[in-house]
Amino acid sequence: MRKGFSELEIGQVAASGLLENKASIRVMEKVGLKFERNFVYSEFQQQGVKYSLSKDDFYLLEKERQNNQE
C-alpha cells in the first residue's frame, strides 16, 4: 500500500468481499482497512462489505506501528 500512496499518489485503497467470507474480512482488517458499508452484490444477490483506507489514515497507522516497535 505504501507504493500506492507514495509513488502512485492514490488517495484511498478500497476492497470488498462477501459478508460470509470471514477470512477475507480478516485480511482487510489486518492490513488496516476500516469498515465502510454493507451492500448487496446485485449479480449474486448476496450481502457484501466494503472496507477502505485513506492515505492520511495509512500514514497515521504507519507512525503508530513505528512507535509501538520502539
Residue 59 lies in a domain: yes
Task: State the pLDDT at residue 70.
Answer: 74
- Beta strands 12-18 and 34-41 are unpaired
Contacts for 43 with CB less than 8 Å, ≥ 6 apart: none
pTM confidence score: 0.84
Residue 69 lies in a domain: no
Q: Which three cell numbers stand for residue 38?
A: 454493507
* Per-residue confidence band for 1, with pLDDT thresholds at 50, 70 and 90: confident
Domain region containing 26: 2-64
Residue 55 lies in a domain: yes
Domain count, the chain: 1
- Beta strands 12-18 and 46-54 are antiparallel
Mean local confidence (pLDDT), 47-61: 96
Residue 70 lies in a domain: no
Segment 56-67, tens digit of pLDDT? 999 999 998 888
Computed over every residue of the chain, the mean pLDDT equals 94
Query: What is the domain-level CATH number for residue 59?
Result: 3.40.630.30
Residue 19 lies in a domain: yes
